[in-house]
Structure formats: C-alpha cells, structure tokens
Amino acid sequence: MKLLAKTNRIYLAFSLVIYLFAGLAFYKVVRFLIYKEVESRLQVERLDFEKYIETHKSWSDTTYFVENKIEVDPVGSNSQLLETFTDTLIRNRYDNELMPFRQLTFYTPIQNVMHRVAIRKSLIQSYRLIEVITVTMAACLGLLLLGTFWFQGKLSGRLWHPFYETLSRIKRFNLASATPLQLEKPEITEFRELNEVLRKMGDKMQQDYRSLKEFTENASHEIQTPLALINAKVEQLIQSEKLTETQTRWIEDIYQASRRMARLNQGLLLLAKIENHQFTGDQTIDLTALLAERLADMEEVLIHKKIAVHIRNETPFEVPLPAALADSLVTNLVNNAIKHNHAEGQVELLSDGDQLWLINTGQSLTTQPERLFERFKKEGAGPDSVGLGLAIIKEICDNYGLQVRYEEQNGWHRFCLSRKSVEE
C-alpha cells in the first residue's frame, strides 16, 4: 500500500470518528436546548394554572388549556408530592397516531383537596426541528468530510510529487552507466536534503562500482597469469626423471593446490561479477535443451562412473539469461549431479515448462538443506570441490528472476528451477 493511500485512510477513519462524536454531541445539545425551552413553557403554563385556581377557587375543563391537554385528578393525602418532567405518547383522536408530548406533573390543592395536575405540550414540532437540524448537520459534515478528504488527497499529491519523482529516477538509475544520478531541487527543505544525500550516495556507489569492476577485471588477469605459470612449471617438474618419490608427491600436492586456487579465484570473481550485474546481453535460452546437451557432453565421465541418464520430458524451459551465465548454471548443476553420485547411479532430467528438475542418486545429505547453497559449504571433503558451485547457481537465480530449491528423499537429490512469481 502506498504511503499516501495509507495516510488518507487513517485520516478518513480519524475524521469519521471525530465527526460522529461531534454530530452526536451537537444532537444532544440541540435536544437539551429544545427540551429546556418546552419545560420553561410548561412552567409558565403551571403559573397560569395556579393563577386561575387562585382566582376562581375551582377548576373546570375549559378551552384555555386545550393546547396543553391538561389533566386534573384528585389524589390521596399519602401521595408523594413531587414535581416531575416526563416524555409520554398520546393517541391523536383524528388520525389515531401516537404523538410525542412533554409532560409536567405537579400537585396543588383545589377546594382543600389535593389534586395531581399533568400539563402536556406537544413535541412534534420540536422533533421535526431536531430532524431537520440533524439532517442538515449530517449533510454539512458529510460534505465537509468529503471535501477535506479530496483536498487532502490533492494537496498530498502535490506535496509528495518530488518524492515520487525522486523514486522514479532512482529506479531508472544504473550503476554501470557513466551518467550520474540527476535529482531535482524541490522547494520543500526535507525533500531537497533527501535528494542531496541520495545524489552523493549515487556518486559514491558509482565510484565503488567502477573500482570493484576494475579490481575484478585486474584480479582475473593478474592472478590467473601467475597461477597458470605455476601450473605449467609444476607439470614440467612432474615429468622430470631426477625427482625422488617424495619430491614427486610434494610437487603433485603443490599442483593440486594451485589448480584449486585457480578454481577458487575464478568462482569468487564470477560471484562478484554476478552480484554487480556485469553480465549483459540477456538471451532467451532453453535450459532444458542446454542441460540435455551438457549431459551428452559428459558421456565419457558418465560411462566411466556407470551412471545412467534418463530424460523424462524435454518441454522447453526458456528464461532470459546471458549466455555465459546460462552455461555456468548448467555446468555447475551437471557437475554437482555427477560428482555427488555413486557408481551405477542415475541422473534424471524432466521439465513441464514451468519447472525444471535435475535429479540424481547419491548418499544421504549430512548437512542442513537450507545451508547447502552457502559459499564454501561442501558436502563431503573432496579435494576437487571448492564449495562455490551451488552458491554460483543460487546467485544466478536470485539475480535473474529464477528460484532454485533442493529436496532429498531416500537417497534421491532433486534440484528444481522455477520462475519467481511477481510478488516475490
């Protein structure tokens, strides 16, 4: 969810609570004032009634109190003589509907007999007034809320425009490009300071990227050259007839160590190049066909280890990859399937177009499966392995929209390649 949408939703929810509370409070206040006015009129009517009794010394039903619907009833001497205001409903004699009234009940003596007097005043007009005020108030608050929400959205959009412009330029920013990160200088101080910090970070990242790229290129050349020279000289020494058995063994150890160092150097440099996206020129490559081709190239090794190959399904599994990385991915998968297989084992290849499986037999896994793709994590202690093959596979998949997972069951090791979903 975007920041503006989240902010607007919170603001809308908060405003609704405030407006509902304000509307309820306003309704209570209006109702209180109207009731106060009606009660004050009933008190005036009471004074008129008492004045009438004082003048005439008796009571008779006259039209003087018709509007207020007065009732006078004698009561016993043990009644509680309390003055009260209550709401009541009286049925209209003309349309037979119940009408709301406010009633004042008090007690007064008439001809030395205590009487209960109930004066009622219609609330229908007051209720209509409350309804009109409530509807008007709700409409005004609703329009105010919608107007404020709309204005808040427009204002926020204008205020946050520099931020989204900066975000868009950062998304298009390419470390490999010689063009520096160009950002505007907005009027808002915070955004201007943010852009300045991001611009400096972009310049530093480009500088570090160029330095790392130069280092990997130089290291690839400067380290490989002396290693190749060491290997060549060691091979010449091995062929020498003047060496003792011990010297020959020492030289073979040096030769194996130098070859391992060369593979280690190549693997680390490859990982650095993948991480820094130094490979360009993506192509649509069918990994199913490429794996089948690589297994065919390894036929002599497979025959030597008596490993049977079964291609169950050759449905194309096409992905956009640089050709060099696709070759490295496939080579490491095949080498892993052969290296960790046993004599008279099996290798299976199958694809359904969405997933590509390379399955091989082998010894049960002794390490944790989730750590299998870590650098220098080796299954076994073979001298030929530098522990980078699966790490290279994982790095290629992570940087080019693929997902690799491993499963092991009953001596069968399954590596699955699939495309990452959009959410991932």
DSSP 349: E
Query: What is the C-alpha to C-alpha distance for residues 98 and 90, in angstroms, rounded to an integer?
Result: 5
User: Hey, is 285 helix, strand or coil?
Assistant: strand
The domain spans of the chain are 3-157, 190-275, 283-419
- Token digits of residue 268: 């680390």
CATH superfamily for domain 283-419: Histidine kinase-like ATPase, C-terminal domain (3.30.565.10)
Q: Is the pTM of this model over 0.75?
A: no
Beta carbons within 8 Å of 414's beta carbon, 6+ residues apart: 357, 358, 359, 406, 407, 408
Query: What is the C-alpha to C-alpha distance for residues 383 and 252, in angstroms, rounded to an integer?
Result: 13
Dump the DSSP string for 239-283: T-SS--HHHHHHHHHHHHHHHHHHHHHHHHHHHHHHHTT-----E
In whole angstroms, how far apart are CA 129 and each of 34, 125, 135, 286?
9, 6, 10, 78
Of how many residues is the chain composed? 424
Please check whether residue 404 is in contact with residue 394, taking contact to mean a CB–CB distance below 8 angstroms: yes
CB count in 10 Å sphere of residue 16: 13
Summarize pLDDT for 328-354 with one digit per residue, the tens. 899 889 888 888 888 888 898 888 888
In whole angstroms, how far apart are CA 290 and each of 117, 241, 280, 308, 328?
105, 44, 19, 18, 11
For tokens 């008779």, name the residue: 60
User: Hey, is 14 helix, strand or coil?
Assistant: helix
- Token digits of residue 358: 């390379």
For 311, the enclosing helix (H) or strand (E) is strand 308-311
304 alpha carbon, distance to own chain's centre: 53
In 3D, which of 19, 38, 252 has the Cα closest to residue 130?
38
Query: What is the C-alpha to C-alpha distance for residues 153 and 35, in angstroms, rounded to an integer?
Result: 42
Phi, psi of 402 (to 5 degrees): -120, 165
Please check whether residue 108 is in contact with residue 79, taking contact to mean a CB–CB distance below 8 angstroms: no
Strand 84-91 and strand 113-122: the pairing is unpaired
pLDDT per position in the chain (424 positions), as tens? 666 677 777 877 888 888 888 888 888 888 888 888 888 888 888 888 888 888 887 777 654 444 457 888 888 766 667 888 888 887 776 677 787 888 888 888 888 888 888 888 887 777 787 788 888 888 888 888 788 778 777 777 788 788 888 888 888 887 777 788 888 888 888 888 888 898 888 888 888 877 877 776 676 666 777 777 777 877 777 777 677 778 778 888 887 787 777 777 777 777 877 877 777 778 888 888 898 888 888 888 888 888 888 888 778 888 888 888 999 899 889 888 888 888 888 898 888 888 898 989 988 777 777 777 777 766 554 555 667 788 888 888 888 888 888 888 878 888 999 887 644 4
In the chain, count H helices and then E strands.
9, 11
